[in-house]
Structures are given as C-alpha cells and as structure tokens.
Amino acid sequence: MFIKEHRNKSDESRKTGSTLFVCNASTSLTGNDSKTLEVYLKHLFRKFGEIEGVSVGSLADEEDAASKPVFAHVVFESKKSVKAALRAGAFSAEEAAAALEAAEPPPTGLEGIIHKYRSQRLSFEDIENNANIQMAAFEKMEEEEKLERERKRANPVDADGFTLVTYKKQAAPQPADGGEGVGRSGKKRGGAARGRTRNKKKTELTNFYRFQMREAKRDQLQELRRRFEEDKARVARLREGRRFKPF
C-alpha cells in the first residue's frame, strides 16, 4: 500500500491539504467491493484523526462490476492528520489485523466451521515434508542400532561385564636338531620318567582348560542368539508402530 497527499486544484470535491491518496490497498483484502475497502481504510487511518469520509475508485470501466477497487481518497477534518499519517509511514501487524477483521469479520455458522476446518488442515506439501523428516530420523535410528549390534557381536560381554578376548592357535615349536624334546632327553636316568610325569600333568591341565573354553563359547553363542532374536522383534515393533500412513 502506498500513500501520498492529494493535490489537485481542479478537484473541488476534496479538501486541499487534508486528503490522503491511497493506492494498492485492496491487496490485503479478499473481498471485491468498495464497502469493504472503505471500512478497512477507516479503521486503519482513524488513529491519525477524525475522518470525514472515504471514497473508493477503480481504473476499470464502470460497467465492469467485477473490477476490484485499487485506490481511494481518505478525507480528514484536519491537515495535521495527513501529515501525521505521512510521518508514520507504516502500520504494525496488530493494527493491520484489527482493521482487516473489522472489514472482513470471520464467517459464522456452517461457513465458519468449514473455514476453521480448512485453516487447521495441513497442505500436502507440509505433510510430505513432515513425513520425510520423520522417516529420515527413523532410518538414522535404525542405522545406529545396527552398528551397536555389530559392535556387541564383535566384542561380546558376559553378565559380569567382562569382554571375552580370544587368541589364535599356534603350532608347538619343534626341536631344531630333530630330537625328541627336552622332556625325554634328560641327562640322568630318571629324567625320562620325570619328563613323562610333567607331560602327563600338563596334558591334564590343558584338556581341563579347553573344556572350560568350549563351555564358555557355547554359552556365549546361545546368549548372542537370544539377543539377536530380541533385537529382531524390537525392530519389527518399531517399524509397525512408526509406519507412515498419509491417509
């Protein structure tokens, strides 16, 4: 909307110095009649002083009833009111909204219910954007859960909080000279018997330790399978509960 002081000496119907020319004011209105624009301008400019009247005009032909008003003359009782309006230069959003509500009051009855319903309903673009944001967040959460499961599988932790450390099997070292080993090559006569005794005890301890490792490994595999099935069920529930249903 643009305003300026109306100066036209040949126009005797309007007071010189106390008339304000208003252009492009109807863009804020949905109505298409002069009466609506007149009420709107009166409420908008009344804070600057008393208004004698508002005349609305259009650049279209007078026979065109559907033409929208595009300019108006606001006549004040005092010249100071025109100067005050020109100095202000702008209106607050609250003032414009109040003038708009006075000129075009909200619909009531069935029309008001329909208007309220349509104003509260999201557009298709808003629904699509919201859905994309939600799906991106869901996919990110799924990826984080997948990485966490892979990390736990790579480093299993028992009930006491200990991480199982495994080692690769290595072949026993062979004597460099092709002998039978230290245990059976004792220098004294009783060395062979003592060597066999030590090897027997060592074998018993080794077999007992391997038995523990097999038991622990079996228990860990069962625990991993149980956790994996629980994770699968939880992911399925999340997908079912957060599945996007646009309609």
DSSP codes joined into one string, 60-116: S-TT-TTPPP-EEEEEESSHHHHHHHHHH----HHHHHHHHHHHSPPP-HHHHHHHH
Interval 59-76 mean pLDDT: 67
Cα–Cα dist 154/148, whole Å: 10
Domain ranges of the chain: 2-60+67-106, 122-157, 209-242
Lowest mean pLDDT, pick from 54-63, 183-192, 224-233: 183-192
**Residue at token pair 């002069």:** 34
In this predicted structure, what is the pLDDT of residue 183? Answer: 46
Strands of the 2-5 sheet, one edge to the other: 2-5, 19-23, 71-76, 51-57
Q: Taking a C-beta distance cutoff of 8 angstroms, is the pair 100, 29 a contact?
A: yes
Q: Confidence band (pLDDT; 50, 70, 90) for 114?
A: confident
Of residues 114, 99, 98, 108, the one with CA closest to residue 36:
99
pLDDT in tens, 174-197: 655 555 554 444 445 555 556 555
Q: Is the pLDDT of residue 99 over 50?
A: yes
pLDDT at residue number 184 = 45
Mean pLDDT, rounded, for 234-239: 86
In this structure, CATH architecture of domain 2-60+67-106: 2-Layer Sandwich (3.30)
Sequence-ordered alpha helix ranges (H) in the chain: 34-45, 79-88, 93-103, 109-120, 124-154, 191-241
- Evaluate whether 8 touches 54 at the Cβ level (below 8 Å): no
Between 168 and 66, where is the model more confident? 168
pTM for this structure? 0.37
Q: Which residue type does 106 have? A: P
Token pair in block for residue 111: 């029309």
